[in-house]
Chains A and B, each alone.
Chain A
Amino acid sequence: MEEKIYACFLGCVIPNRYPGIELSTVKMLRELGVESVDMPGAGCCPAPGVFGSFDLKTWLALAARNICIAEELGCDIMTMCNGCYGSLQEADHLLKGDPLLKDKVNEILAPEMEYKGTINVKHQVEIFTDDIGIERIKEAITVPLDGLRVGVHYGCHFLKPSAVRGHGKAERPGMVDALVEVTGAKSVEYKDKMMCCGFGGGVRTRDLEVALDITREKITNMLDAGVDCTVNPCASCHLQFDRGQVEIGDIFGDVFNLPVLYYSQLLGLAMGYNPRELGMHKQNISTDPVLEKLEGLK
């Protein structure tokens, strides 16, 4: 594999709510030969469905500012949240495709910054799948998670809009399922697997009950299929499922206690890491049932 160093884009939810995601992703990638560097001064991506809904021009300019930081570093961007990925990838796509739009944005960024269009924006799923590859991950598995039943949640903005993202059709993808199954765990089919978590578009902020009702439906569908946990590749979905379960309890009275794992946390377990080294103990919903299930399967 060609040596590759990524500019690590943190966004908001990861460093400021779920630092375990940052910790586990950087650790696993490093162990698999992919390095990443900080992006000094990066900020909110900003959320594509939230700030994009308020003012597309502001959204685009702020996204371009973040991309400029990585351009200065000369590195492609690595994202760990579908919202960040969606925002930066879409902004990059629009700016690369429209020179007049690029000029307009550069007027706003000038004189200190200039968007040039010299780098690419990647999702960590792409990095695990394309740069590292399933075979190499397989070799690194020391504690196979055989018997663990996982409800994979893709989230929306990693794959959609498919014409912009370019990962193929979004109705029945397989990338994250393959990454989960290489750990030995089983990706369980469940009803409406590709449905949204409810977080996006500013719905969580403006109409929390609507957002949580969507989350509740997804969790119910997963539990009906007999999953032990849900695994996601997106910090925003992660928050919606983990923090959301506390809010669902408060608002609707349902208590699910479905453990929520970020992909690199699941992979970390399979690579022999202690859950505490992956920040799994710093979440709202206990992940202990996963560990107990794995212990029982030994």
Chain B
Amino acid sequence: MNAVGAEVWLAMVTCFAAIFTQNILLTTFLGMCPFTSVSREVKTASGLGGAVIFVMTCTTLLNWLAYRYVLVPLELEFFRFILFIIIIAAFVQFVEMVIDRYSPKLYQSLGIFLPLITVNCAILGASLFMVIREYSFIVTIGWGFGAGVGWFLAIIAMAGIRQRLNESRIPEGLRGPGITLIIAGLMALAFIGFTGVLN
């Protein structure tokens, strides 16, 4: 019982770290492409962010199982890049079909984001980090969920700021991606400030 308790505690710490101090977007720059292109409005950003949380949590778990019970016994670890991508693509496709069948309304609000997610490097990155850091199954739950929430928070905050930016005067060469990156840098600074909490 105690061992399980320790695992759960570790999972919670990992989750917190993944949201704030090791934010997958602001410290490892994964998922930058949708971050700069889909962060114009809070509404679309939150739709994409929600889809990322869901897909990331599920695919890290699926990939953990596939890695531990298929690739390791067969000694095919190097094959993980291809297997992970196939699992992610298949899962996204499957979710799309299920949502389309049972909840057309949700499909309309989420549908366009799902194909985008397949090419989101943050999703594959989360699975690769999980392998390298050798997380256990319970910790992986915390990691996948936390990494998704961290990405969600970052893109929502960015969308909120960018809506205000429309009214400000920015030097011509800095408009668009330039200013987005500077804001992301300031946000990353703020998130690093949470490091003290974990110690």
A binds B: no
What is A's interface to B at a CB cutoff of 8 Å?
Answer: none
What is B's interface to A at a CB cutoff of 8 Å?
Answer: none
